[in-house]
Structure 1
């Protein structure tokens, strides 16, 4: 398995980590976790708990984009040595994004999100270069 594929697994792990932290913060804020209506309960959260839940939702959305970019690069014949750096940049950006979201560092969160998006475009550019 290539390093870029491992990066996809790391990103998925980050989302589950956020789910765990979000659940813990939910219990801390509300005194319980509503297993029957978790989305209703999530809408009522405030502060760090709400931000972690939002970061998790964003994480699942962007995981699909990143995974597609990795697969496109792979199937276009991009060597794993070339795909590893942009995939790693994406992983680092997502970690920093989670921290910025949880800590309410909105301007930095946006900048870091754009770095991750640029890493995805980088993978697509490599795919175009190697498939031509």
Structure 2
């Protein structure tokens, strides 16, 4: 199985890690209404919740881009490298979000998006 598909799994887990941080850092977590609880958070817990949301938003395009790259005949070594780079950019994005480094966080977001675009167009440049 290509490494890029394992990267899809890692990207799917990143939002769960972020909400775990929010739950651990915020005041007593209420599982009866988790969205309302998260909306009331501030500071690190709020930023972790926002990072979780953004991971969910970035995931579909990345996952589809990996599939397009693989099924479209993209060079698998390049596809794997781009997928790994995406995961690294998203981990760095999370760190920047948690640390409240807004400008660097935006750079990591653009990097991740650019890597998803690069994955999506891989089949066009594979030959």
How many residues are aligned here? 127
Unaligned runs of 5+ in 1: none
Task: State the match for 2:7 in structure 1.
Answer: 7
Query: Normalising by the residue count of structure 2, what TM-score does the alignment of the two structures yield?
Result: 0.94
- In the TM superposition, what is the alpha-carbon distance from 1:19 to its structure 2 partner? 1.9
- 1:29-108 equivalences under 5 Å are 30=27, 32-108=28-104
- In the TM superposition, what is the alpha-carbon distance from 1:47 to its structure 2 partner? 0.4
Q: How many angstroms apart in 1 are the aligned matches of 2:117 and 2:102?
A: 23
Q: CA RMSD in A?
A: 1.2
Task: State the match for 2:116 in structure 1.
Answer: 120
Unaligned runs of 5+ in 2: none
C-alpha distance after superposition, 1:29-78 (max 9, x if no partner):
x2x21111111111111000000000001001111110010001111011
Q: How many angstroms apart in 1 are the aligned matches of 2:121 and 2:91?
A: 23
